[in-house]
Amino acid sequence: MRVYMKRQIKFLSVTRITTSEPSLNRVMMLRILLTLIFLTATAPAAEKPNILIIFTDDQGYGDLNCYGSAQNKTPRLDQLASEGTLFTSFYSQTVCGPSRSALLTGRHPIRSKGWGMPASEITFAEKMRGVGYQTACIGKWDVSNRKPIIERMPNAQGFEYYFGTLGANDGGGVTFHENNEKAGSTRDMGSLTTLYTNKAIDYLENRRDPKKPFVLYVAHTMMHTIIDASERFRGKSEGGLYGDVVEEFDYETGRLLDTLDQLDLRANTLVIYTSDNGPWNQDKYTKKKKGHPAGSVFWGDAGPLRNGKGSPYEGGYRLPCIVRWPGRVPAGRTCDAIFATIDFLPTFAHLTGYTVPEDRHIDGIDQTPLLTGRQEAGREQFYFQGAGIRVGKWKYLKPNAFFYGYAVEDDRQKVDELYNLESDIGETTNLALRNPKKVKELKERMISVEGADQLRSADSKR
């Protein structure tokens, strides 16, 4: 002990003291203790990451060049993929509201209730505010039944700043809210992607406190019907109006990413790009729309996947996802592990220091090891709302699997379906009759996930 004390005294260069003077020795020990406490208190904590979520609407798995599109030019998103990890088995939900409640809460829509998400749900924004984060949401909200119900709007659900629309643009117009107040409206759908990007840039440059970490959730209205592009991009792509919208979105995303660089935020900002559900690519939907501007009812590209929005097949749920965090998320990597929006809340908990809610069932898991490349395995399973489950390479759909009306395949037989997604990503060959044990196993897994929570008709309505 005496040797230790002498070394400490010499290191700190304080008043000379000998261990034969016990009273002075105690004073010296107290000084050392206070010094160490001061150094600990004033040392900077491990820097918490900023988080930027870019969430598009109704974009297909095959719409980006880096996901196989030979038609759409998306250089900025391709660059983002080269700087981070591109996920090929990433899942959102099959329609707008349920996708957003799942992303915000880490809970399947049978629990978080989609468009009708109750005020009692806990969002990642609420939790992040509790650990010192600034929180902002810009764009399409869509979990308050598209109504200005104050206790279910963004400010009440954890976001300090909000600008956007509470619902979709099905009728060709949107009404904006800034925080809880109305902030105008527009029928110029071609202006929205630039508007939301400008608002996001303004938040980064002028509204946030540079001394505090932030989470910025940018939920675009495009590529939701009614689509349109600005004059700068309209008629310029090889993919018609929809291609124009995709390429404008790529450009505007590049502007937002450039702002991170200009503000020296790139190094410590986790960027996540994905979409809410697959594309509206069904004849039933397209043909029933009347009176829309030419080309504004789009046909998105699901790539090799079956069906699209509103369907429990892969084209409805599996989406592009690109994640970048320099020096932490491996660059130039393609990963086929199962990853989902429901994993955001528990993953952000690990990265930012909040605790996951313990008073309710959380369906998401912490995917930090997957994101950072410490492991290549992701989720073991993913549940399809009212329809089925994927476990590893196997996917099961029950006979009465839930479809939205426009996505129903009229020639689909109502029987058990089992697909090997490793060898049949397009879900073309039903293997249920050949693998009854696997069907039984997955059916039991599906029932276990649902528990007492069942899909109600009200959960499927806006």
Of 32-41, 171-180, 198-207, give the lowest mean pLDDT range: 32-41
Q: Judging by DSSP bridges, how do beta strands 214-219 and 134-140 pair with one another?
A: parallel
159 and 71 assigned to the same domain: yes
pLDDT number for residue 38: 41
Pair 99, 276: CB distance under 8 Å: yes
Can you give the pTM of this predicted structure? 0.89
132 and 11 assigned to the same domain: no
pLDDT number for residue 45: 42
pLDDT number for residue 298: 67
Of 25-29, 75-79, 395-399, give the lowest mean pLDDT range: 25-29
Residue 209 φ then ψ, to 5°: -90, 115
Torsion sign over Cα 207, 210, 213, 217: positive
Of 12-26, 181-195, 234-248, 289-303, give the lowest mean pLDDT range: 12-26
Cα angle 445, 457, 146; round to 5: 115
73 and 109 assigned to the same domain: yes
132 and 230 assigned to the same domain: yes
Q: Which of 218, 217, 237 is nearest to 227 (CA)?
A: 237
CATH code of residue 288: 3.40.720.10
pLDDT number for residue 29: 55
pLDDT number for residue 286: 78
95 and 218 assigned to the same domain: yes
pLDDT number for residue 233: 97
Give residue-wise pLDDT tens across range 320-337. Answer: 999 999 999 999 999 999
Q: In the predicted model, is pLDDT for residue 275 greater than 70?
A: yes
pLDDT number for residue 460: 67
pLDDT number for residue 287: 77
280 and 394 assigned to the same domain: no
Q: How far apart are CA 352 and CA 269, in angstroms?
A: 12
* 353 C-beta neighbours (distance < 10 Å), count: 16
Per the DSSP assignment, residues forming a β-bridge with 136 are 161, 216
pLDDT grade for 300, boundaries at 50, 70 and 90: confident
Cβ-based neighbours of 449, under 8 Å, separated by 6 or more: 108, 363, 381, 383, 389
Torsion sign over Cα 224, 227, 228, 229: positive
pLDDT grade for 14, boundaries at 50, 70 and 90: very low
Instruction: Report percent pLDDT > 70 for the chain.
Output: 88
Q: Which of 318, 291, 324 is nearest to 79 (CA)?
A: 324
pLDDT number for residue 33: 52
**How many domains is the chain built from?**
3
Of 168-172, 177-181, 285-289, 327-331, give the lowest mean pLDDT range: 285-289
Query: Of 320, 347, 379, which residue is a domain's last?
Result: 379
pLDDT number for residue 296: 74
Give residue-wise pLDDT tens across range 96-132. Answer: 999 999 999 999 999 999 999 999 999 999 999 999 9
Neighbour-count burial of 70, counting CB atoms closer than 10 A to its CB (0-12 exposed, 13-18 middle, 19+ buried): exposed
Q: How far apart are CA 226 and CA 57, in angstroms?
A: 11
Pair 92, 339: CB distance under 8 Å: no
Structural domain range at position 83: 50-379
Q: In the predicted model, is pLDDT for residue 23 greater than 90?
A: no
Of 2-11, 194-203, 322-331, 367-376, give the lowest mean pLDDT range: 2-11
313 and 335 assigned to the same domain: yes
pLDDT number for residue 363: 98
224 and 358 assigned to the same domain: yes
Per the DSSP assignment, residues forming a β-bridge with 324 are 271
Of 5-9, 125-129, 228-232, 285-289, give the lowest mean pLDDT range: 5-9
Q: What is the rounded average pLDDT of the residues 258-281? A: 97
404 and 373 assigned to the same domain: no
pLDDT number for residue 24: 47
14 and 155 assigned to the same domain: no
Q: What is the rounded average pLDDT of the residues 346-357? A: 98
Q: In the predicted model, is pLDDT for residue 93 greater than 70?
A: yes
Q: How far apart are CA 86 and CA 420, in angstroms?
A: 22
pLDDT grade for 25, boundaries at 50, 70 and 90: low
Computed over every residue of the chain, the mean pLDDT equals 90
Q: Tokens standing for 434?
A: 């050949």
CATH code of residue 425: 3.30.1120
419 and 354 assigned to the same domain: no
pLDDT grade for 20, boundaries at 50, 70 and 90: very low
Neighbour-count burial of 461, counting CB atoms closer than 10 A to its CB (0-12 exposed, 13-18 middle, 19+ buried): exposed
Instruction: Report percent pLDDT > 90 for the chain.
Output: 82
31 and 134 assigned to the same domain: no
pLDDT grade for 31, boundaries at 50, 70 and 90: low
pLDDT number for residue 30: 56
Of 170-184, 273-287, 335-349, 401-415, give the lowest mean pLDDT range: 273-287
